[in-house]
């Protein structure tokens, strides 16, 4: 059963003479890493609000913000405005929870960054510095655990606001995020099967060696991406804050910087989800088409290059997030639930079995990890994708908001409506 344990551990084998830094140096470098990541992250999130508005303007053929410093200083102006605005405290709110909610929605997105490796190790005169804040042996599970807490902020905001629209938004978000979390977790199991470990470093290592997971596990990537959209409450999954139905959903009652913190949290979540997609499916900081970045010898330039590559991958996915937001309309609630439970979860489960049996078959046939392995997995994925998009789905299973319902389903709903009307003529009248 050496399906998954066949990789040489590249990073350790590469620099046997360079031990990681320890003691006081480790402590100081960790503080530096924390400060740098936090600064880049916050400035980046601020600039992303500008990017969102510029990209939406570009997609809708408008100009976008172009007044404050030709548009570039718009995030600073927005921030200043939010600090100066009045903080409203509506009547009947649960004050501690009302204040706690924006904080709780922001912290998980930031905490997940602890374990994401963002560059090749950097050699210094004190030893090797790993470009990750905390290299946990259970890194990937840590991310799943921390991101699963993001829902608390939204739920508490909805509940503590003493507002029925906010409450409805909170209810929707908890149902949505718990549902899609399952699909998300299941879609990543094939990655763990391939890597044979749950630490993010070994996942990146495996991709440098055996090809990016987007080729190996295309279907899992699509499930993960859809679930990531749902987890970050971005369109087409922004039902918790659906403006047409719920005013502004869970943050209806928030103003000034508290509202802004929810906004920051949304963008922070987006960046974290993009980093996860880059790490799990696109090789993390791995420089494409080279092996030197994984084998070494490491240098400072290589570290900088790999950090740049990782940033570029993240920005690409952030762009995809924005692109989708300004392209697709919102799901209906029943479509959201049926997509999550009736389509994505079963698909993810079947996919786990498929990948596991293919891996067993390949190891029984004696094919080592590498070119052929990736080619076989990739072609199987291509087959599954064609099956899913061209044959199974005709605007029915993966129905977007504008998709037709199956005629049988429409007929069933009509019958149900008629039956209800017969029994409770007044109740249905009010329910419409």
Partner 1 sequence: MEPHYSLIYVFHFYLFGVIALASALTFVTRKSPVTAALWLVNTMFSLAALYVMLDAQFVGVMQVLVYAGAIMVVFLFVVMLLNLGHPSELADARGTGWKLAAGLIGLGLLSEIMVIARTKLPQQLIVPRDFNEQQFQKLNAVGMIAEPLFKDYLLAFELTSVLLLVAITGAVVLGRGRAAGAR
Interaction mask 56-95, partner 1, x per CB under 8 A: --------------------------------------x-
Q: Which is nearer to partner 1, 96 or 370 (CB)?
A: 96
Q: Which is nearer to partner 1, 29 or 140 (CB)?
A: 140
Q: Does residue number 141 form part of the binding site for partner 1 (CB under 8 A)?
A: yes
Question: What residues between 92 and 131 interact with partner 1 by CB under 8 A?
Answer: 94, 97
The two most distant CA atoms of the chain are separated, in Å, by: 82
Q: Give the shortest CB-346-to-partner 1 separation in angstroms.
A: 16
Q: Does residue number 230 form part of the binding site for partner 1 (CB under 8 A)?
A: no
Contact of 28 with 127, CB cutoff 8 Å: no
Query: How large is the C-alpha radius of gyration of the chain?
Result: 24
Q: Give the shortest CB-425-to-partner 1 separation in angstroms.
A: 15
Query: For 117, which DSSP code?
Result: -
Q: Which is nearer to partner 1, 28 or 385 (CB)?
A: 28
Q: Does residue number 198 form part of the binding site for partner 1 (CB under 8 A)?
A: yes
Question: What residues between 149 and 178 interact with partner 1 by CB under 8 A?
Answer: 149, 151-152, 155-156, 158-160, 167, 170-171, 174-175, 177-178
d(C-alpha 229, C-alpha 226), whole Å: 5
Q: How far is CA 66 from CA 44, 78, 299, in A?
A: 19, 13, 41
- Please list the alpha-helical segments (H only) found in 74-210: 74-84, 95-111, 139-147, 150-160, 164-187, 189-195, 200-210
d(C-alpha 92, C-alpha 164), whole Å: 12
Locate 48 and state its tokens. Answer: 């992303």
Alpha carbons within 13 angstroms on the beta-carbon side of residue 357 total: 6
Contact of 25 with 129, CB cutoff 8 Å: no
Q: Give the shortest CB-157-to-partner 1 separation in angstroms.
A: 12
Other CB atoms within 10 A of residue 56 CB: 15
Q: Which stretch binds partner 1 (CB under 8 A): 145-153, 273-281, 320-328, 402-410?
A: 145-153
Q: Which is nearer to partner 1, 159 or 263 (CB)?
A: 159
Q: Does residue number 142 form part of the binding site for partner 1 (CB under 8 A)?
A: yes
Q: Give the shortest CB-55-to-partner 1 separation in angstroms.
A: 32
Q: Interface residues with partner 1 (CB under 8 A)?
A: 94, 97, 136-138, 141-142, 144-146, 148-149, 151-152, 155-156, 158-160, 167, 170-171, 174-175, 177-178, 181, 197-199, 423
């Amino acid at each position: 059963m050496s399906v998954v344990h066949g990789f040489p551990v590249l990073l350790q084998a590469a620099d046997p003479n360079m031990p990681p830094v320890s003691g006081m140096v480790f402590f100081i470098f960790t503080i530096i890493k924390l400060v740098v990541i936090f600064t880049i992250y916050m400035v980046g999130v601020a600039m992303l609000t500008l990017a969102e508005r510029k990209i939406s303007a570009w997609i809708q053929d408008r100009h976008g913000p172009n007044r404050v410093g030709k548009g570039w200083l718009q995030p600073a102006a927005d921030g200043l405005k939010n600090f100066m605005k009045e903080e409203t405290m509506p009547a009947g709110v649960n004050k501690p929870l009302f204040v706690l909610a924006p904080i709780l929605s922001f912290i998980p997105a930031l905490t997940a960054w602890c374990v994401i490796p963002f560059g090749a190790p950097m050699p210094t005169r004190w030893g090797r510095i790993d470009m990750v804040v905390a290299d946990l042996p259970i890194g990937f599970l840590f991310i799943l655990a921390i991101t699963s807490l993001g829902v608390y902020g939204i739920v508490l905001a909805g509940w503590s606001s003493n507002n029925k629209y906010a409450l409805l938004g909170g209810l929707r978000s908890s149902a949505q995020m718990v549902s899609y979390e399952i699909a998300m977790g299941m879609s990543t199991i094939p990655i763990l099967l391939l890597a044979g470990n749950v630490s993010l470093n070994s996942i990146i290592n495996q991709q440098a060696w055996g090809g990016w997971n987007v080729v190996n596990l295309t279907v899992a990537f699509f499930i993960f991406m859809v679930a990531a959209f749902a987890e970050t409450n971005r369109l087409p999954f922004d039902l918790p804050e659906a403006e047409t139905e719920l005013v502004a959903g869970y943050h209806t009652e928030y103003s000034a910087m508290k509202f802004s913190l929810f906004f920051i949290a949304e963008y922070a979540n987006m960046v974290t989800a993009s980093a996860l997609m880059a790490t799990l499916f696109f090789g993390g900081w791995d420089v494409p088409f080279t092996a030197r970045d994984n084998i070494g010898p490491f240098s400072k330039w290589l570290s900088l290059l790999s950090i740049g590559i990782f940033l570029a991958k993240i920005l690409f996915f952030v762009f995809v997030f924005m692109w989708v937001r300004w392209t697709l309309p919102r799901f209906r609630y029943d479509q959201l639930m049926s997509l999550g439970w009736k389509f994505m979860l079963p698909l993810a489960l079947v996919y786990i079995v498929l990948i596991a049996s293919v891996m067993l078959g390949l190891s029984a046939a004696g094919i080592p990890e590498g070119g052929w392995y990736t080619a076989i997995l990739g072609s199987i994925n291509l087959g599954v994708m064609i099956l899913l998009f061209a044959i199974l789905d005709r605007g029915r299973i993966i129905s977007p908001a504008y998709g037709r319902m199956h005629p049988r389903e429409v007929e069933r709903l009509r019958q149900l409506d008629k039956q209800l009307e017969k029994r409770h003529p007044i109740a249905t009248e009010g329910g419409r």
